[in-house]
Structure 1
């Protein structure tokens, strides 16, 4: 069963202060430590045609985790993953703007704006 990724604003690609670009998902429920961001990342990997078990690398789950960083492999590139429960947003970052545009286009059918 597919999970709709619920966001409160349309996806956007912004300049990354560390260089490159960032695809931003403004997820609902600030400070909700039960927000299913890991399930959202699995859904994103599947939307990209990736096997989440092989393409998604995250640290082990910790109760009340925050500031989670990892990677998602796509098209031979490594996307930097970041999720913050406090401000309730998730990002995928890379130096290739066109790659992030492709990710946004493929994920868009699974996005629901609240």
Structure 2
């Protein structure tokens, strides 16, 4: 089961293309299991977590991690950070991310407390 703090969201990626945003934990909680979450996402997409999920080796206190998840023959960029506790899957195609969101939605469960509203902070 994929536990999230808010609904899946697709938005323009500031670097170009699109990003699917998943809020998964509390800010600065380095125990948020992003790697396990990505494995669950790979499996929900019908991919093999061992072969289709590419992440750098784990480091204690890691933050700002980038990788790749293959979705069929399409590589999706991965970015997650513990500082804000979110995970993004990135693609040039909004349609691809909508397909990804639709496929993983049935495995998503709402967490006990919502993600923070960061848009009003500043």
**Shorter-chain TM-score: which interval?**
over 0.9
Q: Which residue of 2 aligns with 1:29?
A: 26
1:65 paired residue number: 62
Q: Which residue of 1 aligns with 2:6?
A: 9
Residue 60 of structure 1 and its aligned partner are, at CA, apart by 0.3
Aligned counterparts of 2:102 and 2:45: Cα–Cα separation in 1: 10
Segments of structure 2 that go 5 or more residues without pairing to the other structure are 112-122
**1:92 and 2:89 are equivalent in the alignment:** yes
Q: Which of residues 26, 51, 56 is equivalent to 1:54?
A: 51
1:37-48 aligned within 5 A: 37-48=34-45
Using the size of structure 2 for normalisation, the TM-score is: 0.88
TM-score computed with the length of structure 1 as normaliser = 0.94
In terms of Rg, which structure is larger? 2
Once the two structures are superposed, what CA deviation does each residue of 1:28-56 show, in whole Å capped at 9, x if it has no partner? 22111111110000000001100111100
Shift of 1:13: 0.3
Point out 4+ residue stretches in structure 1 off by more than 2 angstroms. none
Q: How many pairs were matched up?
A: 111
Q: Determine whether 1:109 maps to 2:106.
A: yes
